[in-house]
Structure 1
Amino acid sequence: MFQIIGIVLLFALVFGSYLISGGKMDVILHAAPHELMAIGGAGVAAYLIANSMTVIKGTGPALGKIFAGPKWKPSDYRDLLALLFLLTKTMKSKGVIALESHIEKPHESSIFSRYPKIAKDHFAVDFICDTLRMMTMNLEDPHQVEDAMEKQLEKHHHEAHGPAHALTNLSDGLPALGIVAAVLGVIKTMGSITEPPAVLGGMIGGALVGTFMGVFMAYGLVGPMATRLAGIIDEDAAFYKIIQAVLVAHLHGNAAQISVEIGRGNVPSTAQPSFVELEEALSQIPNEA
């Protein structure tokens, strides 16, 4: 919502101030389609040249995140803690064998099925199951497990940042592409140097629209979007850090209740459930679960 408001204010204030000061939109509207073709087309081409297919395919969904906001809401953090509570409690009270059916086929698991949004996140499910599988294989050194989990998180975070880095690079290049479009406009103007001053003035004004649009798109649209996307990716990454905190706490020999409490302490403040809220969520889990 705020992103849409910001875009509306950006256009209203920039072009509004231009009109109030006596500027005319005729020159901009006449030149805009050609300049957009040159700058936007060159920007898209450069984006395709500079990035891998994985990043290019991820750009569309990444742009959706800018307006949708972080994937994980406060209720999802509460569900994650409840899920980890069930898994660690099962492992502690019923043993490794009872847990194997849940981590080998998580999509058929009665525990994972209680939390469908988390179950649909492939990385979260794989991250949990792979770590628990390591534990069932007698890898019980908390420091080794924490180090292995940290490397997985770093890899996932780096890959998730691909579109944000690509958009930042595009933003850095747009002002230069605007200059390229402006230079082409000047070349065109110089080819018509015999025209009267009024005509030349309009042509030079049209050429300068290219510089304006390159800078405007870079610092008013693409750059802020890239920054917002990077922030959302960082916010969502906190969700996976909770998994690491709880499972490492479990390996240190803590009870399931203590492990999830340690995890709750790592939840971002804006999404953190209170102690009472978490207690209520855990108390609502049926005994057979």
Structure 2
Amino acid sequence: MVIRTVSIIGLGALGILFASQLAKSLPQSDLRILADQVRIDNYKKNGLYSNGELCEFHYMAPEEKSPTADLLIFAVKYSGLEDAIKAVKNQVGENTIILSALNGITSEAMIGQAYGQDKVLYCVAQGMDAVKEGNRLTYANRGLLCFGGRETGVISPKVKRVADFFDKMNLPYIVDADMLKRQWGKLMLNVGVNQAVAVYGINYGVIQREGQARDTMIAAMREVMLLSEEEGINLSEDDLNYWLEVLGQLSPEGKPSMRQDIEARRYSEVDLFAGTVLELGKRHGIATPVNQELYAQIKAMEANF
């Protein structure tokens, strides 16, 4: 089957980024943005802008009936995932393929439990330096999506269908035959860069240079490396250096989602990052003092919201 229709839930930085790119190639009715009516009214009233360009999206409330989507993309925050899983019910059919652009290593299992693991491809969004302020998204690097199946070394027909579709859409991507390791690598990066940038109140430019913030970031990442060995993922120094190179390509003026959340006085994904590390550390009897301190500092910031 050929992918023709796409539904996206979540219009944060990644949701707008993906939707605005797909909107350049898809008929408006074939790209559905799922949102509740309050959000839809707000989007229509105030508009959404991507690098200064007004986004003309086709919005759909969850309860609306329509043919099911060929491709469904989750781009919500982790805190909104459970509600989003319920909201997309009318979009999921027998042949729907699902991608989750969420951070962390758990969203695919949660979505698969609701709609069938066979529908879910594993996915990582990387290389974006998008910043969303109000209704405006700005970015220098649009990044790409990495995706593949759960089974290592296998490129399934569903993966090929998505790759063919992204080729037609001119959407950058990587097909990875070891997505579990890719996801753990992205978790390692997020644990470091998101939390260190938030705690130090800086941007990518500062953490791309030698200094205390970068040292803290790398120390937090190394704790993930230790845990990955216990989980059979075995992240290496080469993996650490790869993700540091990804970080080095981002706009120095940019800042990750956690820093944007703290600035906007929104609760962050610290439980998805340091929280995951602390839980795994306890399970395996491994000390994770750097993430413990970052967790405490970010929770203290949020206590003042």
Q: TM-score range by the shorter chain?
A: under 0.3
Q: TM-score, normalised by structure 1?
A: 0.21
Give the structure with the higher percent helix. 1
Q: TM-score, normalised by structure 2?
A: 0.20
Relative contact order (alpha carbons < 8 A, sep ≥ 6): 1 or 2 greater? Answer: 1
- Based on CA coordinates, which of the two structures has the bigger radius of gyration? 1
